[in-house]
Structure 1
C-alpha cells in the first residue's frame, strides 16, 4: 500500500491538487494553501460541509491522517467544488469500491461549465446595446 496519494480537481478557473497521507500515528490535519480549513473558509460552514461530504459519504472522515490541498484560481465556490472533485478522485484511487457511491451522488463528474467570453460589438457575451428607434 502506498504512503501518499494525490489527485487533481478542476472547476471553472480553479485547480485543486490534493495530497493524502495514509500512514498511521499522525495528527489529523486538513490544510488548504498552508492554512487550516477553518481559517481558509472562515465562517462558511456550508462550503466546509460540502468539502467534507465525500469523506462523510464513504465514512472515511477520520481515516486519513494528513490532507494537504493546494488550490489556485477562481473564487470560493469554484475552489470548493474543485476540492470536492479532487477528494472524490483520491478516495477512488485508495479504494475502488467507493466509486459507485461517489458516482451515484455525481461527485466524480467534472462540471465543464465556464464563463462565456465577451463578443465584439456587444456589452457582454450575449447582452446587446440598447436599440433606439429615433
Structure 2
C-alpha cells in the first residue's frame, strides 16, 4: 500500500511539473498566439529559400521559393515554355492569386514523372507548401482552397484477364 502511495505521489508530482512546463511554454512570447493556436515559424534555409515537395498522379515537384520579382523556372526553362497551355499556367498561379502575392516570389523547381497536367498539379501542391513555410500567415487561405492537400487519385492498374483496368472482354453466349 505504501508503494502505491509513493507511485501516486510521484504521478502527481509529474503532472504538476508537466502543468508548470505547459504554463512556461504558454508564457513564452511568439510560441502561442493570443487565440491559443500554436504560432508557426518560417522555415528557410541559409540562402533564404523555403523548400517543399509536391505530388500529383505520378509527378513529383521539388520547389524552392524565395522573395523576388515573380520569375518561375521549371527544369531550367521559363514557365511559359515548359507549360505552353494557359490552363496549366493558371493552375500553377492559383496559390499566388488566392494569397494576393503575385510577383513577390521567385520560384525554382524541378519536376519529374507523369504528364504535363500531373506536373502542373504537383507544382501547385509544392508551391503552396513552400509558400506556407516561407510565410505561415498564408497557410489558412491556402488550406481553405485545398491546395495543401495531396490529390491522391492515380490511374488504376490493369488487372490480369481484363482488357483494361475494369473493361472485360465481350461476353459471347455461343
- Say whether the fold is shared (TM-score over 0.5): yes
1:8 paired to 2:49: no
* Aligned length in residues: 129
Q: Give deviations 1:5-55, integer Å, cap 9, x for gaps.
A: 110000110000011223xxx65421001100011112x111111101101
Q: Give deviations 1:76-96, integer Å, cap 9, x for gaps.
A: 110000000001001110111
Q: Secondary structure at the match of 1:10?
A: strand
Task: Pick the aligned partner of 1:93 from 133, 136, 142.
Answer: 133
Could you say which structure has the higher strand fraction?
1
Q: What is aligned with 1:62?
A: 103
Which structure has the higher relative contact order (CA within 8 Å, separation 6+)?
A: 1
Q: What is aligned with 1:53?
A: 94
Determine the C-alpha separation between the residues in 2 that align with 1:27 and 1:104. 26
Segments of 5+ residues of structure 2 without an aligned counterpart are 1-41
Q: CA RMSD in A?
A: 1.4
Q: What is aligned with 2:25?
A: none
Q: Which has the larger radius of gyration?
A: 2
Runs ≥4 in structure 1, deviation > 4 angstroms?
none
Could you say which structure has the higher helix fraction?
2
Q: 1:110 to 1:125 in 2, by over 3 A?
A: same
Report the TM-score when normalising by structure 2.
0.70
